[in-house]
Amino acid sequence: MSTTVFLVVLAAALFHAVWNALVKGAEDRTVMLGLIALGTVPAGLILLAVSPALETEVLPWLVASMVVHWLYFWLLNNAYRLGDLSLIYPVARGVAPVIVALAAQIWLGEVLPIGTWAGVVLVSIGILVLAWKAFSGALPKAGIYAALAVGLSISAYTLIDGIGVRLSGHSGAYIGWLFTAELLVALYILPTRMHRVRVLPAKQLVLGFAGGVVASAAYGLVLYAKTLAPLGLVSALRETSVIFAALIGVILFHEGPRGRRIIASIVVTAGIVMIGATS
């Protein structure tokens, strides 16, 4: 993996943590998700305007991705009702790297070196260190199941989009359609909740739409990276967003404990270093 791709995925991780924090801190999380979905549409339209037509063989992957992303948003919204950002987020993201790496090896033949596999596992372990409290009673069982379901949906759309964007022949076209399709999520959420939209402060509305712009940048960068590097590596590096989210949880939401975050950061950093040295 080149240094450029490495930095691109880390930037995407930071952006992803930011928009998840916006959802957690929102006065109305359902409306915030609708605004974020709406905020991804302009980037999609711009990409479609400057990209060639999409190959028809990619359409099944695109439709599957839209369905799984819709499920992801629904699961994420419900999971955040059951627990803190610093508990739900690590569980959801911690299970994804190993699942994606295994699935990519089985179905796509992307065999990772042993050292790289060790790095991927370390990243997942470091992330789950943050979630240890979740498994010791801080989260109700329903919250754990919801977070794990989010993790499975993340793994599913990571694989689907990894295949789809490669088949597309032009990443901009695939990303453009994926982002434009988020309009369907916005139309599902917002029209029936306009009374709740109207009572939100203007700052929340602006933050929601801006969060969509950030979310589109985050996932656009990840999709681009998937055309250049194995899916397991991209997934593992992307999940460093959990470390950023943990820090946001401490600083903005006053969530603890801090010691576990330090340990997790060290373990995840060790995994990143191992991935960089062996991939």
pLDDT of residue 265: 75
Whether residue 257 has a cis bond before it, omega within 30° of 0: yes
* Interacting residues of 203 by C-beta distance below 8 A, sequence separation 6+: none
What is the C-alpha to C-alpha distance for residues 236 and 96, in angstroms, rounded to an integer?
A: 8
42 confidence band (pLDDT: 50, 70, 90): very high
Are residues 159 and 104 in contact, defined by beta-carbon separation less than 8 angstroms?
yes
Residue 86 pLDDT > 70, yes or no?
Answer: no
Rg of the chain on CA atoms, in Å: 18
Residues for the chain: how many in total?
279
Residue 80 pLDDT > 80, yes or no?
Answer: no
pLDDT of residue 255: 66
pLDDT of residue 72: 86
Lowest mean pLDDT among 5-14, 19-28, 128-137: 19-28
Are residues 223 and 175 in contact, defined by beta-carbon separation less than 8 angstroms?
yes
Tokens, residue 110: 């992307």
SS3 of 36-92: HHHHCHHHHHHHHHHCCCCCHHHHHHHHHHHHHHHHHHHHHHHHCCCCCHHHHHHHH
pLDDT, tens digit, 9 for 90 and up, residues 103-132: 999 988 888 889 889 999 998 888 888 777
Are residues 232 and 105 in contact, defined by beta-carbon separation less than 8 angstroms?
yes
- Say which amino acid occupies 142: A
- Say which amino acid occupies 8: V
Sequence-ordered strand ranges (E) for the chain: none
pLDDT of residue 1: 66
Lowest mean pLDDT among 154-168, 169-183, 185-199, 236-250: 236-250
pLDDT of residue 257: 66
Tokens, residue 197: 């939209």
Q: Is 240 helix (H, G, I), strand (E, B) or coil?
A: coil
Short-list 239, 219, 16, CA closest to 122: 239
Mean pLDDT, the chain, whole residue set: 85
pLDDT, tens digit, 9 for 90 and up, residues 50-75: 999 888 889 999 999 989 988 887 88
Are residues 251 and 123 in contact, defined by beta-carbon separation less than 8 angstroms?
no
Residue 259 pLDDT > 80, yes or no?
Answer: no
Residue 44 pLDDT > 90, yes or no?
Answer: yes
Are residues 243 and 23 in contact, defined by beta-carbon separation less than 8 angstroms?
no
Q: Tell how far CA 67 is from the center of its chain.
A: 15
pLDDT, tens digit, 9 for 90 and up, residues 178-224: 999 989 889 988 998 999 989 888 888 888 888 888 889 888 999 98
Are residues 214 and 19 in contact, defined by beta-carbon separation less than 8 angstroms?
yes
What is the C-alpha to C-alpha distance for residues 203 and 139, in angstroms, rounded to an integer?
A: 31
Short-list 28, 51, 66, 11, CA closest to 189: 28
Short-list 63, 4, 39, CA closest to 219: 39
Residue 102 pLDDT > 70, yes or no?
Answer: yes
Lowest mean pLDDT among 62-71, 117-126, 133-142, 265-274: 133-142
